[in-house]
Amino acid sequence: MRTAMMAGRIGSAELSDLVARGATLDFGFPVSSLTRLAALAPQATSVGKARLNAGFSFQAGTEGGPQVHLVVTGAVPLVCQRCLGLLELPVSIDVVLTIIRNDLEAGVLADPFDTVLLADGELEPEQVVEDEVLAALPLAPKHAEGSPCGSSAGREEELKSGELHRPMAGLADLLGRSTRQGDK
């Protein structure tokens, strides 16, 4: 069964019920509400319409503990590490997480990394989604080869002027780009 609901906390009693019913909850999060993710965008305005959709399917886990099959889709605005411009990185996460109440429970699991730790017995879908997306992001996100990326122009200019390793020059460049993008 599928239930749409607002973001919030899922209490332990409700959680048990969701697992027993094998229920699926669908959430939609504007990236602007996910503060740690929103902070990665090149500027506040680029966060604007970005959204993540998340489906939480609850199930009784093979190791006894409850599990949630999490599917996240959407895109997050990031800074391209080559051209420092806006990069809308598509998100596609499909993972099964074992729900644990404390770190002790993680110790008995075969794979303690695929877990979601409850906060005071409650599940916070927004936090879970943000944690999983952050963990899945590449260390140095870049525009794909062949896509519009200001890299070649910017890099050559820097190499010519010999300012490749001057952080302040890079910052000025970033600010300049942001202004120009805002004009579009």
**Which stretches of the chain bind Zn ion, using CB under 5 A?**
80, 82-83, 143, 149
CB of 113 to Zn ion, least distance (A): 31
* Dist CA 127 CA 29 (whole Å): 11
CB of 136 to Zn ion, least distance (A): 20
Sign of CA dihedral 15, 16, 19, 23: negative
CB of 86 to Zn ion, least distance (A): 9
Given the complex with Zn ion, which of 108 and 164 has the nearer CB atom? 164
* Dist CA 51 CA 32 (whole Å): 8
Given the complex with Zn ion, which of 50 and 149 has the nearer CB atom? 149
Given the complex with Zn ion, which of 51 and 82 has the nearer CB atom? 82
**C-alpha distance from residue 145 to each of 23, 73, 139 (Å):** 41, 22, 17
- Residues sharing a CB contact under 8 Å with residue 143, sequence separation 6 or more, in sequence order: 80, 82, 83, 85, 87, 149, 151
CB of 147 to Zn ion, least distance (A): 8
**C-alpha distance from residue 53 to each of 71, 74, 113, 148, 160 (Å):** 8, 6, 23, 26, 44
Given the complex with Zn ion, which of 60 and 153 has the nearer CB atom? 153
**C-alpha distance from residue 101 to each of 12, 14, 114, 175 (Å):** 10, 15, 14, 44
CB of 65 to Zn ion, least distance (A): 42
Q: Which residues pair with 35 in a beta bridge?
A: none
Given the complex with Zn ion, which of 101 and 142 has the nearer CB atom? 142
